[in-house]
Structure formats: C-alpha cells, structure tokens
C-alpha cells in the first residue's frame, strides 16, 4: 500500500515538474510572440486597406479629398497626408459621417478608438499600427479565461496561449491598421461571458454577456454570425427547450442587438456594394479548395507565398499543408471523442460560425468570399482543438512514453513552423495579405522618383486613393505632386529636374494629351510610372 502511494506521489511530482517546464517554455513563446508583434512594425508597406482606415480616421471623405487635391496646383506630401490623420478641421463626428457616407460596412468602434490613440501618440505608421498590436495582447488573458471556462484546465489555456502567441496569422493582423485584433478580443470576451453566464445562471452574469455583444457588433460585421452560432450552441445545449437559460440568452441577445439596430439601418440605407466588388472574382472548385487549405494552414505555417507567386513555390508547400490539415482534423476528432457535448459543440460552432457560411457560398457560387481575415473566428476554434489535443497527449495516463515523445516532437515541429513563419514575416517588406501583385512595385517606383534632385509627380484624381496615398509614405518630402481632374491636363511648369507620370488606374487620354500638348515623350520605367521627356 505504501509502495503504491509512493509511486503515485512520484508520478504526481514528475507531472508537476513537466507542467512547470511546459509553462516555462510557453512563457518564452509568449515573449517571442510579443516581440514579433512590435518588431519592424513600420517596415512593411502601408497598403490600400490601411490607407482607407487612415482616411476614415481623419474624418474626410473621398469626395472632399478629390475636390481639394485635383485642381492642378502643386502640392506637397504634407498636403496629401492631411487626409491620413486627425486635424482641427475635422472631429469625431466627421469621422462617423465619413464612415456612414462611404464605408457603412466598416463598423466605427475601432476607427474611433484609433483616432483617439493617434491624437494622443502621433500619426506615424509605427504609432498607428502599435495600437492594433497592443489590442492583440489582450488575446492572451481572454484566451486563458476561455479555456478555464470551457475545458476547466489551465494547461489547455497555457498551450493555447503558446500556439496563438507565435501564430503567424495573428501576428500578421496584429500589425495592421484594421479592426481584426479587436474583433478577436471581442469574440473571446463574449465567449467567456456566455459560458460563465450559462454556468452561474445569474441575472448579473447574463447582463455582462449582453454588454459584450455591442463590442463585437460595432467591431466587425461578421460578429453577427458568431453571435448567431453562440445562439445555436445555447439552444442545442438546452435541447431546444424554452428553459430559463434559453430565455436569459434570448433577452441578452435582444438587448445587445437593439444597440446595433441603428447601424443596420445605416447599412441598409447607405449600401456600399463597390467596397466588396472583389468578391465577384470567379474561382474554380480547385482554386476554392486550395484557398481554404491555405486559410487554415496559415494559422501554423505562413511563408508569405501569395496567389501571384510561381506555382513551384506552392507545390513545395503541399505536403506541409496536408500534414497541418491532418493535425487539425485529428484534433477535432479527439476533442469530439473525449470531451462532453458542452465542450466540443462550443468549439465546433465557433469554427463553423463564419467558416461554414463562407465555405458554402464559395463553393456554391464559385467566388472568393472567404479570406483569412474573415475566418479568424474559425482559426480560433481550430487552435482551441489543437491545444486540447496536445494537452491530452502530454498528460494522459493512457498515453505511452514513446507516444508522449512522438507528440512532443509534433508539438515542437508545429511551434518551429510558427516561429520560422514569424521570422520570415518580420524581415519582409510586403506580405501576401497586402496584395503584392498590386503594391510590390511601389518601393521600386519610390526609389526611382527619389533619385531626382527636384522631382515632380503628376497623376489624376482616380489615382489619389489608395495608389498615391500608399506611394506618398515611401517618397521623400522633396517630391512635389500635381493632380488633375478627369479629362484635364496639367500645366507643366519649369524648374523640376525630373517629371514623372504615375497612373495605377489606366488613363490613356492623360498620357496622350501630355505627349501631344507638351510635345513630350513618355518613357515607361515601370508598370505604373512614366518619365516625361522633351526632345532636345
């Protein structure tokens, strides 16, 4: 008897030591993850989506900007940047008006929070992106609390934190002036509040859940799908009965949804269909399948390969992607087999909340509705399943010693894939999510323009946002700009060492007019840049 107690005590001590070492390693991963969220945060190109975010933060509209800039006068970089940060001419009310008029599908909470941040800490690219990175740090405590509520296990919480800390997809969006980091936090907070309310069954806890819903509703439009999935979870757990829990959930949802009704009315009365015109791109079933495989695998491995990259690079990744998809599938299988309905159903509804509707629409309509930034709720659910798998394999008594070593190796390889991805990401000047097929030439174009002693850059109003605003962040202050309206020609003045024409959106009439009226020749130096030269 004493011998058995001694063996159990030794096993308990050994388990405690191994868990302590595991937590120590996860703390190291957490430090690495925080480092990669902030290092070189201003190095990557400030691309189109971020430029639109800055325009919304400034409080100006595209119409105002075009009207004020495209009159043919000479302007500086400061004149362009006026529409990229707050200034005394516009206040927070103007910011909301701009969103309503031109970007109603963008929810205002993140934009208003970032405006306040910029007013306090400056409008540099590093300062603006730092706000998103700081918000992403809230993911860790919220994720730990969710694992405590869901799995009743601190170990699963620690492993989940380790996986998310160095997950390349989380780091990509932590360094972007968009609402995705805030959206992740909103999902986690509302999930914790829901599970806690279902456990405590008190009015206060349900009131807290109701209070978390507006945070999500006003952060991202797809949070409505997450809230709907949470409702499916509650109804299924309550076995489709009108129980006390079901009634409290319904009242909480109603209270939270009422706060969102005004913005729904704004979306209905001010639709911005052109903002999502990119979803009309046709995709074959094979392309959709490859796209979805990439979306899920990027949670653990992302080397920056974009759709425009050569096919050979994509082929090399196929074995790794298949292994990751196999790990994800097995994780979900193990979780469904070993956990209660309250656990696995929550994770499955989180994975399917946004992922399932987008998956169906992609394959039914053969279009590209899904992107990695939209499927972050699904990625969170997948990471929870993988964290549970690893915790089970590390601590289960039924797992043999050689199996534990094997799963330790698998976990090590997953973590190494994430860390390597982060290292590749932080050294890059542009990433796949920044549409490199459009913007990868911009640094080269800026370098050509900056070589002139006193350069002039000519363009038209269709190229102000985002092309010119993106380029302006790469160009030296010595560069002057001249922007003209449609079907107008610039009055080219003397005194400039080099004169360039920049057109991301094609304008054959402008090119032909400059050649004819000014007896000049256009020498193309890149896909979007021409040098204007006059014959001797």
* Residue 132: closest CA among 99, 190, 180: 180
Cβ contacts of 27 within 8 Å, gap of 6 or more: none
What secondary structure does DSSP assign to 107-124, as a single string?
A: -HHHHHHHHHHHHHH--S
pLDDT of residue 511: 87
The Cα–Cα gap between 226 and 212 comes to 12
Could you read off the pLDDT tens digit of each residue along the chain, which spans 536 residues? 444 444 344 434 444 446 777 888 999 999 999 999 999 999 999 999 999 999 999 999 999 999 999 999 999 999 999 999 998 999 999 999 999 999 999 999 999 999 999 999 999 999 999 999 999 999 999 999 999 999 998 999 999 999 999 999 999 999 999 999 999 999 999 999 999 999 999 999 999 999 999 999 999 999 999 999 999 999 999 999 989 999 999 999 999 999 999 999 999 998 877 776 666 777 888 888 888 998 999 999 999 887 667 677 778 888 999 999 999 999 999 999 999 999 999 999 999 999 999 999 888 888 778 888 999 999 999 999 999 999 999 887 777 888 888 998 999 999 999 999 999 999 999 999 998 988 999 999 999 999 999 999 999 999 999 999 999 999 999 999 999 988 888 888 888 999 999 998 878 888 888 888 878 888 999 989 999 987 65
Q: What is the 3-state secondary structure (H, E, C) of 265-306?
A: HHHHHCCCHHHHHHHHCECCHHHHHHHHHHHHHCCCCCCCCC
pLDDT of residue 535: 62
Could you tell me if 350 and 275 are in contact, meaning their C-beta atoms sit under 8 angstroms apart? no
The CA-CA-CA angle for residues 523, 81, 46, to 5°, reads 75
pLDDT of residue 308: 65
DSSP 221: T
């Amino acid at each position: 008897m004493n011998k058995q107690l001694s063996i159990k005590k030794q096993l308990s001590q050994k388990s405690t030591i191994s868990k302590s070492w595991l937590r120590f390693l996860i703390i190291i991963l957490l430090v690495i993850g925080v480092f990669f969220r902030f290092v070189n945060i201003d190095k990557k190109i400030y691309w189109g989506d971020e430029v639109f975010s800055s325009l919304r933060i400034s409080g100006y509209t595209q119409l105002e900007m075009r009207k004020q800039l495209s009159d043919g006068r000479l302007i500086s970089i400061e004149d362009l940047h006026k529409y990229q940060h707050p200034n005394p001419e516009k206040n927070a009310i103007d910011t909301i008006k701009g969103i309503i008029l031109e970007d109603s599908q963008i929810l205002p909470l993140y934009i208003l929070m970032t405006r306040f941040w910029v007013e306090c800490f400056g409008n540099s690219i590093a300062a603006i992106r730092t706000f998103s990175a700081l918000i992403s740090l809230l993911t860790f405590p919220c994720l730990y609390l969710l694992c405590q509520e869901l799995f009743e296990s601190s170990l699963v919480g620690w492993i989940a934190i380790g996986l998310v800390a160095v997950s390349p997809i989380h780091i990509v969006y932590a360094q972007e002036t968009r609402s995705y980091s805030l959206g992740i936090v909103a999902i986690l907070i509302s999930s914790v509040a829901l599970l806690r309310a279902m456990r405590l069954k008190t009015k206060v806890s349900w009131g807290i859940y109701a209070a978390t819903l507006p945070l999500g509703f006003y952060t991202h439009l797809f949070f409505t799908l997450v809230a709907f999935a949470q409702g499916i979870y509650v109804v299924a757990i309550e076995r489709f009965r009108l129980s006390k829990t079901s009634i409290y959930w319904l009242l909480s949802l109603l209270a939270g949804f009422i706060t969102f009704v005004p913005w729904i009315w704004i979306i209905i009365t001010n639709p911005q269909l052109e903002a999502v015109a990119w979803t009309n791109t046709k995709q074959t079933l094979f392309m959709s399948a490859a796209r979805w495989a990439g979306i899920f695998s990027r949670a653990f491995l992302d080397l920056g390969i974009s759709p425009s990259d050569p096919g050979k690079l994509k082929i090399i990744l196929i074995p790794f992607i298949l292994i990751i998809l196999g790990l994800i599938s097995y994780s979900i299988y193990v979780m469904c087999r070993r956990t209660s309905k309250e656990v696995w159903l929550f994770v499955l509804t989180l994975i399917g909340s946004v992922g399932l509707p987008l998956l169906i629409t992609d394959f039914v309509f053969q279009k590209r509705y899904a992107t990695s930034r939209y499927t972050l709720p699904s990625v969170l659910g997948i990471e929870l399943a993988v964290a549970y798998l690893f915790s089970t394999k590390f601590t289960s008594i039924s797992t043999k010693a050689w199996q534990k070593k094997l799963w330790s190796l698998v976990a090590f390889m997953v973590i190494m894939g994430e860390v390597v991805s982060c290292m590749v990401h932080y050294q890059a000047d542009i990433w796949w999510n920044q549409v490199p097929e459009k913007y990868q030439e911009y640094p080269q174009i800026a370098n050509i323009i900056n070589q002139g002693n006193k350069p002039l850059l000519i363009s038209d109003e269709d190229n102000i946002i985002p092309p010119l605003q993106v380029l302006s962040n790469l160009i030296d202050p010595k560069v002057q700009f001249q922007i003209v309206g449609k079907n107008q020609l610039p009055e080219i003045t003397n005194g400039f060492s080099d004169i360039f024409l920049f057109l991301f959106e094609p304008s054959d009439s402008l090119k032909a007019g400059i050649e004819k009226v000014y007896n000049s020749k256009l020498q193309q130096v890149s896909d979007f840049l021409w040098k204007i030269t006059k014959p001797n």
